[in-house]
Amino acid sequence: MSEHWSEIKEVGGSPWHFRFMLWVVCHLPLFLVEFCTAVVCFFFWLGAAPVRARSKIYLKHLQNAGVRVGFFGTYKHILSFALSMMEKLLGWKGAIKLNRIEIQNDDLQMLVAQLNKGDGAFLLCSHLGNMEMLRSLTEYGEFHTDKCFQVFPVVDLSGSQKFNGLLYELNPELMENMIDANSIDVDSAIWMKEKIKEGNLVVIAGDRTSANTRNRVMETTFLGEPANFPEGAFSLAGILNAPVYFAFAIRKHDFNIRSPYEMHVVRAKTSLDCPRRERPERLKELLREYTEILESLCQKHPYQWYNFYNFWESAEK
């Protein structure tokens, strides 16, 4: 069970399954979409013992942290993930509007003010919740800011090619804004710097280690046990030398795709604008800030964590 997440095959089988999924989302009322998803997920859950086992590892850690997880915990976890895929399809076809987003009493206004001024930022997001869905709003003119901006996510697409094929069909432009995490080089780094300077956002998830550079990790305690986090995602913040925010978008009601969306935005207190020799220490601080927020949100919305691999396995025992 010492698989890195990138070695786990994309589940869901044939292209036919994905076509059906798209048809359901496009043609049925949302409550029926939820119903169909719940039924399909139930059978998937019965048959997918490895996925259940990996989900259980995560839920155990949550339980140890004091979160109540019931007997059907792994089913709920899988269902929540399936619903997030449905939601992503809805977002990609422009069916999700800004009024679904609920803002919190946090640093969002600071970020909005910055974007309105024409300054960009670097966002550290996660696989908790559905930031990708949120990104789709920018492509359909749904802005909370006065000024339009673009969102450039740094992603590893290798694990979900079939699903991404569907997304590409729905809105190719949204897919073309992506930066491949496996081939960041001088030119793409400079390009990202320029995009931020022009007032856009560059976004990366801080909770998945890179498939290419598995040895570049930072270890910290997460939900009670040491786990590895990607050094590159945090270092990139320093390289791009932009203001850093933590951002999360989470369904308010875990199993309802008509639910409002909680948007959490927190400005990082740790600055990476420092002499290089202090940087490793600062990166650790930044990671600590990030994991603290991630832990508390995981405890509030346990089933919206979409890392289906043993998150703790890779850390040194």
Partner 1 sequence: MSDLKTRIKEVIIESLELEDITPADIVDSAPIFGKNAAGEGLGLDSIDALELGIAVKENFGVTFSTVKEETKKHFASVDALAAYISANSKG
Binding site residues, partner 1, CB under 8 A = 183-187, 189-190, 193, 213, 216, 231-232, 235, 239, 275-277
Cβ neighbours for 40, distance < 8 A, ≥ 6 positions apart: 82
Residue nearer to partner 1 on the CB measure, 57 or 189: 189
Give the nearer residue to partner 1 in terms of CB position, either 27 or 277: 277
Q: What is the dihedral of CA 281, 282, 285, 289, to 10 degrees?
A: -160
Q: In the complex, what is the shortest distance from the CB of residue 74 to partner 1, in angstroms, rounded to a whole number?
A: 38
Nearer of residues 144 and 216 to partner 1, judged by Cβ = 216
User: What is the nearest approach in angstroms of partner 1 to the Cβ of residue 258?
Assistant: 43
Tell me how far apart the alpha carbons of residues 92 and 140 are, in angstroms, rounded to a whole number: 9
Q: Based on CB atoms, which residue is closest to partner 1, 237 or 298?
A: 237
Min dist CB 193 to partner 1, Å, is 7
Q: Which is nearer to partner 1, 70 or 275 (CB)?
A: 275
- Say how far apart CA 202 and CA 186 lie, in whole Å: 16
- Which CB atom, from 29 or from 275, has the smaller least distance to partner 1? 275
Shortest Cβ 39–partner 1 spacing (Å): 46
- Give min distance, CB of 251 to partner 1, in A: 35
Question: Least distance to partner 1 from the beta carbon of 149, Å?
Answer: 23
Closest CB to partner 1 among 235 and 307?
Answer: 235
The three-state DSSP-derived secondary structure of the chain is: CCCCHHHCCCCCCCHHHHHHHHHHHHHCCHHHHHHHHHHHHHHHHHHCHHHHHHHHHHHHHHHHCCCCCCCCHHHHHHHHHHHHHHHHHHHHCCCCCHHHEEECCCCHHHHHHHHHHCCCEEEEECCECCHHHHHHHHHCCCCCCCCCCCEEEEECCCCCHHHHHHHHHHCHHHHHCCEEHHHCCHHHHHHHHHHHHCCCEEEEECCCCCCCCCCCEEEEEECCEEEEEEHHHHHHHHHHCCCEEEEEEEECCCCCCCCCEEEEEEECCCCCCCCHHHHHHHHHHHHHHHHHHHHHHHHHCHHHECCCCCCCCCCCC
Q: How far is the CB of 240 from partner 1 (least distance, A)?
A: 9
Planar angle of CA 44, 33, 296, nearest 5 degrees: 70
Shortest distance, position 239 Cβ to partner 1, whole Å: 6
Q: Which is nearer to partner 1, 184 or 293 (CB)?
A: 184
